[in-house]
Copies of this chain bind each other. A is one copy, B any other.
Amino acid sequence: MTESKAVERDPESVSRFVEHFAAQLVEAGVPRMPSRIFAALLASDTGTLTSAELGEQLKISPAAVSGAVRYLAQVHLVSREREPGSRRERYRVHSDQWYEALTSRETIIKRWEEALREGVASLGADTPAGRRLTETLAFFEFIETEVATLMDRWRVHREKTFGQG
């Protein structure tokens, strides 16, 4: 027996990782099917899977795949590509997709900020509550600028560690 090539692609190992990692995402508030599909893509060899492959591997209906993928695309955790000359669609995780996902959270923060500004206006900037809201608002604005520069640093760090993948 030669030493390696090890346990690669053992379906059961893959499934165990997929379900375990998905469970962690679920605990953090991500809906179940999207979590499972995302984990399956992460654990795939090419980083892409078709709807049919996902349905078979996870034992779920095409409808479930469709709904979950729509969710994942909306939060920018996967992208969808048309296989040229086929009606088949491939779903993909980019390794830098976390970047997209994080920055898309900014949309949500923007809405928080908007609500806070209205609150300051209607409660009065010179009231205790108004001052509290103002400071909260400042925190989010600060975070927003920081996330941008943070991502620049990540890209530098990533290239240094992995080469330009």
A residues whose Cβ falls under 8 Å from a Cβ of B: 4, 6-9, 13-14, 16-17, 20-21, 24-25, 27-29, 42-47, 93, 95, 98, 108, 111-112, 115-116, 118-119, 122-124, 126-129, 132-133, 135-136, 138-139, 142-143, 146, 150, 153-154, 157-158, 161-162, 165
Cβ contact within 8 Å between B150 and A115: no
Distance of A22 from chain B, by nearest CB (Å): 9
A124: which B residues are within 8 A, CB to CB?
A: 6-8
Cβ contact within 8 Å between B154 and A139: yes
State the majority secondary structure of interface residues on A: helix
Q: What CA separation (Å) do A165 and B135 show in the bound complex?
A: 10
Contact of A21 among B6, B24, B115, B138 (CB under 8 A): B115
A116: which B residues are within 8 A, CB to CB?
A: 21
A46-B128, A98-B139, A154-B139 given; A123·B162 CB < 8 A:
no
Closest to A116 in B: B21
Q: Can you list 14 A-B contacts with CB-CB less than 8 angstroms, sorted by A residue number?
A: A8-B124, A14-B129, A27-B108, A42-B119, A42-B133, A47-B132, A95-B132, A95-B135, A98-B139, A138-B158, A139-B154, A143-B150, A146-B150, A146-B153
Distance of A68 from chain B, by nearest CB (Å): 16
A21: which B residues are within 8 A, CB to CB?
A: 112, 115-116, 119
Contact of A129 among B42, B112, B115, B127 (CB under 8 A): B42
The interface centre, meaning the residue of A20, A93, A119, A150 with most chain B CB atoms within 10 A of its CB, is A119
